[in-house]
Structure 1
Amino acid sequence: MQAFRLAHAGVVLVQADHALLIDPGSFTTAEELSLALECAPPLAGLVITHEHADHWTPEHVAAIRNAAPECPIATTATTAASLAEAGIPGARIVAEGDAMDFGPFALEFYGGRHEVLHASIPVIDNVGVRVNGVFAYGGDSLVRPPFRADVLGVPIGSPWSNISQVMDFVLHTRARRVYLTHDAMLSPAGLNLFTARVRECLAETGGELFELPTASEVSGGRASLFDFGG
């Protein structure tokens, strides 16, 4: 299986000449999404972990459906309702413990709630997803997956977390390989500092940090899809 990333929280997985798109949110521009759809093979499915705009927008999902009208969508009940209100019906509602296949992608869903933003803000539903038993991405949650992930997305700079929580997440999950998500709100200096802390934790657990290429790098021929097997 191969992958490249979109800005902030999005990622595209590629397997057997099909693609799976996860969380194309508001930090991704229309141009970046267009590049991703051009350089990826046909879409087998779209996963949206929760309802917040940095993980999906009506405009982005409409563009995806225009490019791939039959593309199935898996998401939470609230997000499915919001999609329907935006004129995009038919999303499949998933929760912790559910499993389904989108083409060559075997999806297993885990976790059920978004991390607490503040006591004044209601906690919403959020689902993480494991793909083909290899790749895991928790959306806006630091819940420990019910498995040891081979490849795990770690949210490094979310407004609902601090670096101490992120470090504990890395230590507790003991993932074999890690890539960083949720970095759009960090300065380069802040990202370097937080990344160094993650590397320290991975050194304790025997894990490895790697970087996914961006859609623009892949589209422009400056980088190849990252291949992590599976």
Structure 2
Amino acid sequence: MKLTKRLHSCVQLEKDGRTLVIDPGAFSEPDAGLGADALLVTHEHPDHFDEGRLRAALDANPAAGLWTLRSVAERLAPAYPGRVHTVGHGDTFTAAGFEVQVHGELHAVIHPDIPRVTNVGYLVDGSLFHPGDALTVPGVPVETLMVPVHAPWNKVSEVIDYLREVKPRRALDIHDAYLADIARPIYDFALDKLGGTDHGRLTAGDSAEL
């Protein structure tokens, strides 16, 4: 499986000539979802869910499908009958040849006064886990963890503890649009030294074979 990092929390996976894209939101490239055979969205916040990008991807490939939680599915299902699928914690499905398990239910707490929205994470082919905006522990072995490195709802100590709890073979950064380049070495040092796993990051557009 080939992983290509896109901007912020968007990742592209390719296998056997098929492409799956997770979270082509407003902080990702305008064309982040184009060419996808399957699209997954973790939750409704605009940096993960951009309706225009999803519509463009679904229009460009009439065979493409979208798997997501109810709040997003309800926005798009009427225009794409039979192509938008609602999923939740505990579900399993096959999307464009990728086997996907759904883990998690709620977005991390931003502030007690801000209501929590639904958030799901996706374990793809029993190997790569994208948690969206939560530090969800899937409770199964994870080869590659896409780790939300910096967000309004987390701090670096929580990210370190998350790596220690999940114990992936490797961790790669996502949710990094908020983090200035000048500060990246601080986070790299902390996660490399204390996370207990092989931690790295890809520049948007760079790829890795998993």
Say whether the fold is shared (TM-score over 0.5).
Answer: yes
Change (3 A) 1:2 1:64: same
Please state how far the C-alpha of 1:10 moved relative to its aligned partner. 0.2
Partner deviation per Cα, 1:157-183 (whole Å, 9 max, x = no partner): 111111111111111111111100011
Summarize the Cα distance change of 1:127–1:209 in structure 2 as closer, same or farther, 3 Å threshold.
Answer: same
Which of 156, 175, 178 is the matching residue for 2:171? 178
Aligned residues, how many?
A: 209
State yes or no: 1:106 paired with 2:96. no
Residue 226 (structure 1) aligned with residue 208 (structure 2)? yes
Among 161, 166, 172, the residue aligned to 2:154: 161
Q: 1:122 aligns with which of 97, 115, 129?
A: 115
Q: Which residue of 2 aligns with 1:142?
A: 135
Query: C-alpha distance in 1, partners of 2:76/2:186?
Result: 37
SS in structure 2 at match of 1:43: coil
Could you tell which deviates more after superposition, 166-175 or 15-24?
166-175
Deviation at 1:43, TM superposition (A): 2.8
Report what 2:69 is aligned to.
Answer: 76
Root-mean-square deviation (Å): 1.7
Q: TM-score, normalised by structure 2?
A: 0.93
Structure 1 alignment gaps of length 5 or more: 218-224
Letter in 2 for 1:7: L
| Residues 1:105 and 1:213: Cα distance change in structure 2 (over 3 Å) | farther
User: Which residue in the other structure is 1:21 paired with?
Assistant: 21
**How much has 1:63 moved relative to structure 2?**
1.2
Deviation at residue 104 of structure 1 after TM alignment: 1.7
Please report the TM-score for the alignment, with normalisation by the length of structure 1. 0.85
Secondary structure at the counterpart of residue 184 of structure 1:
coil
Report the Cα distance in structure 1 between the residues aligned to 2:62 and 2:155, rounded to whole angstroms. Answer: 39
Contiguous gaps of at least 5 residues in structure 2? none
- Are the aligned partners of 1:4 and 1:213 in contact in 2 as well (CA < 8 Å)? no
Q: Is the 8 A contact 2:107 2:119 kept in 1?
A: yes
Write the deviation string for residues 2-57 of structure 1: whole angstroms up to 9, x where unpaired. Answer: 11011101000001000000000111232x53xx73xxxx5331000001100021
Instruction: Name the SS for the 1:195 alignment partner.
Output: helix
Please state how far the C-alpha of 1:209 moved relative to its aligned partner.
1.9
The percentage of aligned residue pairs carrying the same residue is 29
Is 1:46 equivalent to 2:28 in the alignment?
no
- Aligned position for 2:204: 214
Residue type of the alignment partner of 1:8: H
Q: Tell me the distance in 2 between the aligned counterparts of 1:209 and 1:167.
A: 11
Q: Is the 8 A contact 1:115 1:142 kept in 2?
A: yes
Residue 47 of structure 1: SS of its match in structure 2?
strand
